[in-house]
Amino acid sequence: MLNQKNFCRTYLYDICSMLTKKQKNLLLFINKKLRASGVSPSYEEMKESLNLKSKSGIHRLISALEERGFIRRLPHKARALEVIKLPETASANDIYNSFSPSVIKGGLDQEKSNDENSEIPVLGKIAAGTPVEAIQNEVSRIPLPVNLEKNGEYFGLKVEGDSMVEAGISEGDTVIIKKTDTAENGKIVVALIDNHEAMLKRIRRKGKTIALESANRNYETKIFGPDRVKVQGILVSLYRNF
């Protein structure tokens, strides 16, 4: 049972941890920009995002977020901020750069095609959690979704694990990957680790490190040196059975 002193301390902590609507919106905007580019937004960008008339309001909001322990300013760097935590009320779409996969519903057996050139190989399984062995040989073929460009090279992979569920990717889905060895920050990619393990993650580059992020708060971000990670392709669509 809390005594009066401890109760007051807990009550004050709860009050101080609460955010106003503008504070929360600014925090989520900063988080989104950091995840997309690795760089904090400028005060001008923050002002425009909240439709404020002056930057002084942004200064006050930043100070309030810092006092409440949601962000911190990085020393010796201009406009450099780090998001330490997000409000518990934030949804998955708030926290992550929302990826809305182009989902082909109803199962692969309902997709028919007489054009062999419109089919792509399924190369085994890909982990959306614990790494598995690198991409395997072709195990089957599936139709290429009609909404995708035909001038690229694609392959499919069966998803295992739940670490990308908050990006709309579930275990059992078949993800469609466009082959490429480059990807912008924030893209969901097939990453090959040390030339023998493949995983489906969101990629971030910062300095000389590469971060592979899950879209599930129960999984930690994995950090690697640049020579350990090779991009095999980017996620463009998926099949799902219902």
pLDDT at 101 > cutoff 70: no
Measured at the CA of 55, the angle between CA 49 and CA 61, to 5 degrees, comes to: 75
Compare 17 and 51 and report the one with higher pLDDT: 51
Residue 210 has a pLDDT of: 93
Cβ contacts of 170 within 8 Å, gap of 6 or more: 159, 162, 240
Domains 4-90 and 103-240 share a fold: no
Q: Which pairs with CB-CB distance under 8 Å and at least 24 residues apart come from 221-225? A: 224/193
Has domain 103-240 been given CATH number 3.40.50.300?
A: no
Indicate the fold that domain 4-90 takes in CATH: Arc Repressor Mutant, subunit A (1.10.10)
In the predicted structure, residue 125 carries a pLDDT above the cut 50:
yes
For residue range 158-212, what is the model confidence (pLDDT) as tens digits?
Answer: 998 888 888 888 888 899 999 999 998 888 999 999 888 889 999 988 888 999 9
Poorest-pLDDT segment among 3-17, 59-73, 106-120, 130-144: 3-17
Torsions phi, psi for 194 (to 5 deg): 55, 30
Flag the least confident range among 6-10, 23-27, 219-223: 6-10
> Residue 92: which pLDDT band, with cuts at 50, 70 and 90?
very low
Q: Mean pLDDT over residues 43-65, rounded? A: 89
Res 212: pLDDT? 92
pLDDT at 15 over 90: no
Tokens 């469609």, located at residue: 176
Query: Which residues, including other chains, have CB under 8 Å from residue 185's CB and lie 6 or more apart?
Result: 35, 36, 37, 38, 203, 204, 205
User: What is the pLDDT confidence band of residue 89, given thresholds at 50, 70 and 90?
Assistant: low
What distance in Å separates the CA atoms of residue 101 and residue 168, rounded to the nearest whole number? 7
Of 103 and 146, which is predicted with more confidence?
146
What is the average pLDDT value for the chain, to the nearest integer? Answer: 77
Q: Are 32 and 186 within 8 A, CB to CB?
A: no
Instruction: Return d(Cα 236, Cα 190) in angstroms, integer.
Output: 11
Residue (of 178, 180, 108) closest to 139 by Cα position? 108
Q: What is the pLDDT of residue 135?
A: 65
- Residue 93 phi, psi dihedral angles, 5° rounding: -70, -30
Domain ranges (residues) in the chain: 4-90, 103-240
Question: Which residues are marked as active site?
Answer: 163, 201
The angle, 0 to 180 degrees and rounded to 10, between the axes of the packed helices 21-37 and 56-67 is: 90
Q: How confident is residue 97, by pLDDT bands cut at 50, 70 and 90? A: very low
The pTM score is: 0.56
Rounded to whole angstroms, the Cα distance separating 135 from 211 reads 20
Query: Greater confidence, 105 or 52?
Result: 52
The pLDDT of residue 134? 61
Higher pLDDT, 75 or 188: 188
**Residues 6+ away with beta carbon under 8 Å from 125:** 132, 136, 157, 158, 159, 160
